[in-house]
Amino acid sequence: MDISNSLGTQVILFTSCKGGVGKSTVCANLAMAVARRGRRVLLIDCDFGNRCLDLITGMSDDVIYDISDIAFGRIPMERAILRDKRNANLFFIAAPYSFENRMNTFAFKSVVNRLVSTASYDFIFVDTPGGIGEPLAFAAGVADTAYIIAEPTRAAIRAADRTSEFLMSKGVRRRRLIINKLSGRSVEKGKDEAISIIDSTSLRLLGIVPYDPELIAAGNKGILMDEMLSFNITRAFDNIAARTLGESRKLFDGIRKLRKLK
Ligand SMILES: Nc1ncnc2c1ncn2[C@@H]1O[C@H](COP(=O)(O)OP(=O)(O)OP(=O)(O)O)[C@@H](O)[C@H]1O
Ligand SMILES: [Mg+2]
């Protein structure tokens, strides 16, 4: 049964079997974009032993406990949930720092089910590691929606399709594509590229995020979209947030320019 629907919390996986395509970056910034729209969002880092969402969100100094501490009953659940200092609608649970504190399907599922049953969040965003392995398989068991991230390359789009097939086999019914790091000489060229990608995949396109070096610098400093100078990046995440909340928004709404890849 999809417990998320009955209790009003939507659980969304951010995933791709390809590494480095921007899963964590998109997950963290979209969480802030949705939080800015007044919805309560809990981010869970599922990259066990290789966590980085704490760095991207700028919360690494505040992490004391992680999801394994909740799963193995070492602390009350609330103590591992951090609240963002910039936006009170954004919450975060870190992944274990070391590989020793590995989670299993049962433990992960029971933590997410407990979080959903508190009815405290509108969304739970789960950032998964690259690869079609054990972590993705057990993360798939808690969600009926996945946002599959791909760069605009044939290899990444193929990886997105394979990820989608895998998730479908695990019962994740709603699968959407986000094209990240879209570059090009002009927005018109970017639109052409997006159309050719739509033609080459069976996945429905939810949104695009332009390539922008500011996002790399921001990720290193723990700065999220609301504090960035780039209008295009802020706008891109807000467009996807709007679509996540069911509003109709053009894919490139307000995007003024694309950058050429350096
Ligand atoms: N739209 C973008 N424009 C420019 N750089 C980006 C963009 N999105 C992500 N990046 C950069 O790409 C790199 C990989 O991003 P990220 O860590 O989010 O990917 P990932 O898919 O989560 O990787 P992993 O598979 O290791 O978990 C980072 O340096 C990040 O700053
Ligand atoms: Mg990642």
Q: What share of the chain is helix, strand, coil (3-state, %, to 5)?
A: 45, 15, 40
Tell me the pLDDT tens digit for each residue of 247-258.
Answer: 999 999 999 999
Ligand nearest to the CA of 258: 1
Residue 47 alpha carbon to ligand 2 centre in Å: 7
Measured at the CA of 76, the angle between CA 73 and CA 82, to 5 degrees, comes to 120
pLDDT tens digits, residue range 182-217? 999 999 999 999 999 999 999 999 999 999 999 999
The tens digit of pLDDT for each residue in 218-234 reads: 999 999 999 998 999 99
pLDDT for the residue 135: 78
Q: Where are the domains of the chain?
A: 3-148+211-244
108 CA distance to ligand 2 middle (Å): 18
Neighbours of ion ligand 2 (CB under 5 A): 23-24
The pLDDT tens digits of the residues spanning 5-49 come to: 455 999 999 999 999 999 999 999 999 999 999 999 999 999 887
Pick the CATH number of 3-148+211-244 from 1.10.10.60, 3.40.50.280, 3.40.50.300, 1.10.1040.10: 3.40.50.300
Across 124-132, average pLDDT? 91
Pair of tokens at residue 33: 């974009």
Buried b (16+ CB within 10 A) or exposed e, 60-77: eeebebbbbbbbeeeeeb
Task: Give the HSE-up count for residue 60: Cα atoms under 13 Å, Cβ half-sphere.
Answer: 13
Do the Cβ atoms of 97 and 134 come closer than 8 Å? no
Residue predicted with more confidence, 244 or 130 = 244
User: Looking at ligand 1, which residue's alpha carbon is closest to its atom 15?
Assistant: 22
161 CA distance to ligand 1 middle (Å): 19
Query: What tens digit of pLDDT does each residue of 104-119 get?
Result: 888 899 999 999 999 9
Residue 3 pLDDT more than 50?
Answer: no
Q: What is the DSSP string of 113-165?
A: HHHHHTT--SEEEEE--SSSSHHHHHHHTT-SEEEEEE-SSHHHHHHHHHHHH
Of all protein residues, the one whose alpha carbon is nearest to atom 23 of ligand 1 is: 20
> DSSP character for 212?
-
